A = this chain, B = another copy of it.
Amino acid sequence: MSSQRPPHVDTPHAGTAPRRRQARAEETRRALLEAALTEFAEKGFEAASTRAIAHAAGAHQPQINYHFESKEELWRAAVDHLFGQLDEVFGAHTGDLDCHASARDRLAVLIRAFVHSAAELPELNRIMVREATTDSARLRWIVDRHTRPRFAEAVDAWRAAQIEGGVTPMDEAIFYYSFIGASSLVYVNAPEARLLGCDPSTPEFVSAHAEAVVRMFLPESPGPPDS
């Protein structure tokens, strides 16, 4: 609704100096956002330090309160940014989603796309699991704004495939959380996985994982469509 951008006077004369200053400010803002993402994902909201975020972005701590109103607003902007990235990555992986394909095949495409997205954006599921653990204003904000609509879409796709048949019968919420959990945990817990001798960052791992998740929910799967 309300823009997170700081208010600024227009530059109708279009001088180059103000423009460059504005461009540099935009750079700072973006760097703070990216640094905030990884810091919030690794430490959680409360343990994350605005000083550390600013340092990682090559800026000073008070610039956070200048470009964003507060630590909480920075978090919100970072989460919005991250879900924007998810939509991009997810869209790139679904690509030509054939509307005339069977519900089962469409579900398989969505599952593969989500696994690849979870691998490319581990920060998203890290932040989600940190917030979803305790009821809070932040959790309600993120559920209302981002989780609930995506939950509804996933459940719709599942329901359609279940009506059509050929999928493992399962309650919708059980499907949703089993699916998200099976798809994301190894990337969320990547540092632990590495200590256990597993590197989940290779393309081969991600593809094998995606096919495994498809088979978990669509047991009679004929394999990936491009093989």
Contacts and interface: CB of A to CB of B under 8 A. Distances in A.
Nearest to A184: B181
Nearest to A43: B46
A210 to B, nearest CB: 10
Nearest to A133: B126
Q: Main secondary structure on chain A at its contact with chain B?
A: helix
A92 interface: no
A101 to B, nearest CB: 23
A225 to B, nearest CB: 19
Contacts of A44: 43-44, 46-47, 130
A121 interface: no
A196 B135 contact: no
A51 interface: no
Interface in A109-159: 126, 128-135, 139-140, 143, 147-148, 151
Contacts of A128: 189, 192
A165 interface: no
Contacts of A41: 133
Given A133-B41, A134-B42, A216-B216, A143 B182 contact: no
Given A42-B134, A129-B188, A182-B182, 5 more contacts: A43-B46, A44-B44, A135-B195, A140-B195, A180-B185
